[in-house]
Amino acid sequence: MAATSADAIDQLLPQTQCTRCGYDGCRPYAEAIAGDRAELNQCPPGGAATIDALAQLLGREPLALNPANGVEGPLLIAQIDEERCIGCAKCLPPCPVDAIVGARKQMHTVVVELCTGCELCVAPCPVDCIVMLPRAALKNEFAEPTPPLNRERFAAHNARNERRAQAQAELLTSRKRDAASAQ
């Protein structure tokens, strides 16, 4: 039987990019499954539904979720205690979908429509003012973002990082050139 493509596998993953599967995002995990280097039960956000969908796609038996990666739970959302936020902006770069808004030295806040609950912003906060709550506990219950939206926003996040890195590299090169010609 022909190998299943990473694209088809990636379509079934939640796209939170949380890395709990042990891979650097959903796409690398999809590639590992496609290459027969990973089992299909490594994604806690997807849980049993994703495992079942993967098993069907791959023509394999479903497995129980690997508990080493975490357990399946309610959908979560990050919330910032804005009284305690010191505006350091350390939570911005780790967010794969750019769901946190705020400028340096200003209070930051989470855009609830975009937050996937990946938890990647929690550890970098130096004052522990980000907590994860069940999405259902919010007063205004927004629908969770869909995997296609998550994928699109992650691609935009990566493209922006690449543009920034390229602009910095060009600036450095130009400064070196100016310094060399001034000698």
Positions in the binding site for ligand SF4 (CB under 6 A): 13-14, 16-21, 23, 25-26, 29, 43-46, 78, 80, 85-91, 94-95, 97, 99-100, 102, 108, 110, 115-121, 124-125, 127, 129-130
Secondary structure element (H or E) that encloses residue 80, with its range: strand 76-80
Which CB sits closer to ligand SF4, 61 or 83?
83
Number of Cβ atoms within 10 Å of the Cβ of 57: 16
Alpha carbon distance 97, 154 (integer Å) = 5
Contact indicator for 103, 88 with CB cutoff of 8 Å: no
Which CB sits closer to ligand SF4, 106 or 168?
106
Residue with tokens 């493509």: 5
3-state helix, strand, coil in the chain (%, to 5): 35, 10, 55
Rounded to the nearest whole angstrom, what is the least distance from the CB of residue 50 to ligand SF4 in the complex?
7
Which CB sits closer to ligand SF4, 104 or 139?
104
Rounded to the nearest whole angstrom, what is the least distance from the CB of residue 133 to ligand SF4 in the complex?
10
Which CB sits closer to ligand SF4, 1 or 105?
105
Which CB sits closer to ligand SF4, 128 or 170?
128
Rounded to the nearest whole angstrom, what is the least distance from the CB of residue 182 to ligand SF4 in the complex?
39
Residue with tokens 């219950």: 141
Q: Which amino acid would we find at residue 146? A: T
Rounded to the nearest whole angstrom, what is the least distance from the CB of residue 3 to ligand SF4 in the complex?
19
Alpha carbon distance 108, 112 (integer Å) = 13
